[in-house]
């Protein structure tokens, strides 16, 4: 893909670019991975990966975009991993809509998120928080009730 397009107000664009730049500077391989699986990052009421959009679009809620830059950066990777899981399954001839969501997918995305937090030297409290999410069902919250 080309460079990720950012859609939102000026504050959102600034925070998103800052998070992407953090990844690009501290972990260029991860930045390239993200760039392959997210085409647009768009300001939204809640956060989630729209793999059915063309190009794949990471929808970002205010609490995510307003969070610590390290956390926001790790959330971008988390959702790029959902996109990767979807498109990898589709490429194998499997149903991507099954592969990219659910408990196993969330744990795989969370693992990548924690690995990035460590790699970019995020504050320990963010690594600890992300690690505390293992085997919880935060992702089962209906979209209409999400606060991230």
Of 93, 67, 90, 92, nearest in space to 78 by CA = 67
Q: If you average pLDDT over residues 48-77, what whole number do you get?
A: 96
Q: Is residue 132 part of a domain?
A: yes
Give me the number of domains the chain comprises: 1
The pLDDT score that the predictor gives to residue 86 is 96
Please check whether residue 60 is in contact with residue 43, taking contact to mean a CB–CB distance below 8 angstroms.
yes
| In a domain? residue 71 | yes
Helix 10-26 crosses helix 28-37 at what angle (to 10 degrees)? 130
147 within some domain: no
Residue 78 lies in a domain: yes
Q: Which domain holds residue 85?
A: 5-142
Tell whether 23 is covered by a domain.
yes
**pLDDT tens for each residue of 56-65:** 999 999 999 9
pLDDT (tens digit per residue) in 90-133: 999 988 888 888 888 989 999 999 999 999 999 999 999 999 98
Q: What is the pLDDT of residue 145?
A: 59
148 in any annotated domain: no
In a domain, 33, yes or no: yes
Which pLDDT score is estimated for 32? Answer: 97
Confidence label for 82 from pLDDT (cuts 50, 70 and 90): very high
Please give the pLDDT value at position 135.
Answer: 74
**Total residue count of the chain as it appears in this document:** 148
pTM for the complete prediction?
0.92
Share of the chain above pLDDT 70, in %: 91
Say if 18 falls within a structural domain. Answer: yes
**In the structure, what pLDDT confidence band is assigned to residue 148 with cuts at 50, 70 and 90?**
low
Q: How far apart are the C-alpha atoms of 46 and 61, rounded to whole Å?
A: 4
Whole-number average pLDDT of the chain: 92
């Amino acid at each position: 893909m080309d460079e990720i397009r950012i859609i939102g107000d000026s504050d959102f664009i600034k925070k998103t670019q800052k998070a992407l730049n953090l990844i690009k500077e501290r972990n260029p391989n991860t930045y390239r991975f993200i760039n392959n699986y997210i085409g647009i990052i768009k300001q939204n009421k809640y956060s989630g990966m729209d793999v059915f959009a063309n190009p794949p679009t990471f929808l970002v809620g205010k609490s995510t975009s307003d969070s610590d830059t390290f956390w926001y950066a790790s959330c971008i990777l988390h959702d790029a991993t959902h996109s990767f899981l979807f498109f990898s399954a589709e490429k194998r001839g499997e149903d991507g809509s099954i592969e990219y969501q659910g408990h196993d997918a969330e744990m795989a995305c969370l693992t990548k998120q924690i690995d990035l937090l460590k790699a970019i030297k995020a504050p320990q409290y963010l690594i600890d928080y992300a690690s505390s999410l293992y085997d919880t069902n935060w992702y089962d919250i209906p979209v209409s009730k999400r606060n991230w």
